[in-house]
Amino acid sequence: MTESPTATSVDPWVRKARGATLRYRVMAWITGTLLLLLCVELILKYVFHANGVDAAGTPNPVIGAWIAYAHGWVYVVYLVTVFDLWSKMRWRLGRLATMAAAGVVPVMSFVLERTVHAQALARIEAAGGARR
């Protein structure tokens, strides 16, 4: 009883790189969505004064203060996934900075995610990780 060569010959780097790519993709979408919600919160709060102000003159939260906290913590997880993918792909330092900045520039995480995902998959397939 021998195992098929395709089941055992997959490079461990390919498996790890695919996992890092998927984690990055998920976190880019979550981070980008929370950042857009945070932008909506800030625009409603400071531009339109949607929920008024308290007795001290401080604007009241519209969607909720939790949005800022959630984005902050999710951004930390996003940075971990960015570093994980960057180190597995062995990209240049500028790519790391760009990917990290995408978590704080509205809409950039969605745009960059498509590019990074395509380039990561191309590199994985070039390394012999094409699905059979």
Amino acid at position 66, single letter: W
Q: What is the pLDDT along the chain (132 residues), one digit of tens a residue?
A: 555 555 556 789 999 999 999 999 999 999 999 999 999 999 998 898 888 888 898 888 888 889 999 999 999 999 999 999 999 999 999 999 999 999 999 999 999 999 999 999 999 999 886 554
* Burial of residue 73, with CB atoms counted within 10 A of its CB: 0-12 exposed, 13-18 middle, 19 or more buried: exposed
CA 72-67-54 angle, to 5 degrees, is 120
Q: What is the number of H-type helices and E-type strands within the chain? A: 5, 0
Give residue 132's pLDDT: 47
Give the tokens for residue 33. 């969505």
**63 neighbors 44 (Cβ within 8 angstroms):** yes
pLDDT of residue 61: 87
Q: Where are the beta strands (DSSP E) in the chain?
A: none
The one-letter amino acid code at 31 reads: T
In degrees and rounded to multiples of 5, residue 59 shows phi and psi of -60, 140
